[in-house]
Amino acid sequence: MNKENFKKKFTEFHDKNYKLLLLIPLALLIFGFVYLGFFYSQNHDFMYKDISLTGGTSVTINEKVDPAALTNAISSKLQNVNVREISDLITQQQIAVIVETQSDAATARQVLENYLGYPLTEKNSSFEFTGSSLGEGFYSQLLLSIIFAFTFMGLVVFFIFSKNTKIKILLAFLSILTPSLFFFGHVISLNESFILSIVVLLVSLFFYVKESIPSVAVIASAFADIFMTLIVVDLAGMHVSSAGIVAFLMLIGYSVDTDILLTTRAVKRDNGSLNQRMFESFKTGITMTLASLFALLAALIIVGPFSSVLSQIFTIMIIGLGFDILNTWLTNVSLVKWYLLRKKHED
């Protein structure tokens, strides 16, 4: 089968089944919400957090230690223990072991020294301690930053695809209201900021649905990218650090570029057929995404063994970009096509 015949048959298949294809991401979202509800009931949070977000002690032991044996020996003596091994990239030999626990530094030192049989000094180890109130406060502010980022992302998308100037001005004012009152004015508390930002986001979504369906398609795809990534992170048992939250923030930007590319070409251009415009968007968008994906994979392989922070950032972004391919070229394509064909039929 040559290229033209393949494109023709695929186009015919997609024209008949693009609505049914939405069942795939819908099923994944339903599974995600069910799993996240179960996860929250068990852990009273939406993710596993490391000590940078919960508070606790991080101990780096610059000696050869069996991570599995160490975990078994100290798990019953310290709170929420997580042991990670750092190895040399070339030789694969162990360089150090990092022990994270919510116990205080003095307790962690005593338990580890009892197991190792020698004192931990500045030459063979390092200790870092984060207070629980500081960690929880930092975690809350990072989550608030994600809500702000998502709100502003939605606003930019709405500005691109909506023609209602009055609504644009209203939503722009509402979007900057909470950050201004919290970060600059310091007149509302963190909890009040959460409530107000959620209200603003819901009001914005109402106008997006009412005024610009293409904007809703872009925002829905971006949300699905982040939500599905979170589910995989939870399934993998990854303890998310402050760097991991930053990776989710970065993922918002990575998620919308191909969505905006697709939607702009499909909605705002009229050269060629709708399928042709979408196919051209796919060639450009998939090249962008795959280039980023392979760059992150290379970075993870090279830098990952030396830095748990960078390793977590790269891992989360790789997962997110994988879901971005699914949600852009399945979810967003189908929603935009549905909208445009229905609009054409009504006209």
pLDDT per residue over 263-314, tens digit each?
Answer: 888 888 777 788 888 888 898 999 999 999 999 999 888 877 777 788 899 9
pLDDT band at 321 (very low <50, low <70, confident <90, very high): very high
Mean pLDDT, to the nearest integer, of 78-97? 77
Mean pLDDT, to the nearest integer, of 20-28? 92
Mean pLDDT, to the nearest integer, of 226-239? 92
pLDDT at res. 104? 84
The pLDDT of residue 233 is above 90: yes
The Cα–Cα gap between 193 and 118 comes to: 49
Q: Mark whether 167 and 267 lie in a shared domain.
A: yes
Q: Mark whether 318 and 185 lie in a shared domain.
A: yes
Mean pLDDT, to the nearest integer, of 234-252? 87
The pLDDT of residue 184 is above 80: no
Q: Whose CA is closest to 252, among 148, 120, 96?
A: 148
Mean pLDDT, to the nearest integer, of 62-91? 82
Write out pLDDT tens, residues 218-231: 888 888 999 999 99
Q: Mark whether 90 and 24 lie in a shared domain.
A: no
pLDDT band at 117 (very low <50, low <70, confident <90, very high): confident
Q: Mark whether 85 and 117 lie in a shared domain.
A: yes
- Pairing outcome for strands 125-130 and 56-61: antiparallel
Q: Mark whether 188 and 66 lie in a shared domain.
A: no
CATH, residue 286: 1.20.1640
How does the average pLDDT of the chain come out, rounded? 85
Among 130, 162, 196, give the residue marking a domain's end. Answer: 130
- Contacts by residues 209-215 (CB-CB < 8 Å, ≥ 24 positions apart): 211/158, 211/162, 211/164, 211/167, 212/158, 212/161, 212/162, 213/335, 213/339, 214/161, 214/263, 214/267, 214/336, 214/339, 215/154, 215/157, 215/158, 215/160, 215/161, 215/162
pLDDT at res. 347? 58
pLDDT at res. 343? 80
What is the amino acid identity at position 119? P
Q: Mark whether 93 and 192 lie in a shared domain.
A: no
The pLDDT of residue 134 is above 60: no
How many helices (H) and strands (E) the chain has is answered by 13, 6
Domain that holds residue 65: 56-130
pLDDT at res. 139? 75
Mean pLDDT, to the nearest integer, of 37-60? 85
For 185, phi then psi, to 5°, come to -85, -25
Q: Whose CA is closest to 248, among 152, 327, 145?
A: 145
Q: Mark whether 80 and 40 lie in a shared domain.
A: no
Element holding 214 (H helix, E strand): helix 213-235
Among 130, 148, 169, give the residue marking a domain's end. Answer: 130
Please state, as a whole number, how many other Cβ atoms lie within 10 Å of the Cβ of residue 58: 21
Q: Mark whether 88 and 216 lie in a shared domain.
A: no
Place of tokens 């196919």: 279
Mean pLDDT, to the nearest integer, of 22-27? 93
The Cα–Cα gap between 347 and 341 comes to: 10
The Cα–Cα gap between 114 and 68 comes to: 17
Question: How many domains are there within the chain?
Answer: 2
Among 77, 102, 130, give the residue marking a domain's end. Answer: 130
Q: Mark whether 126 and 139 lie in a shared domain.
A: no
pLDDT at res. 303? 78
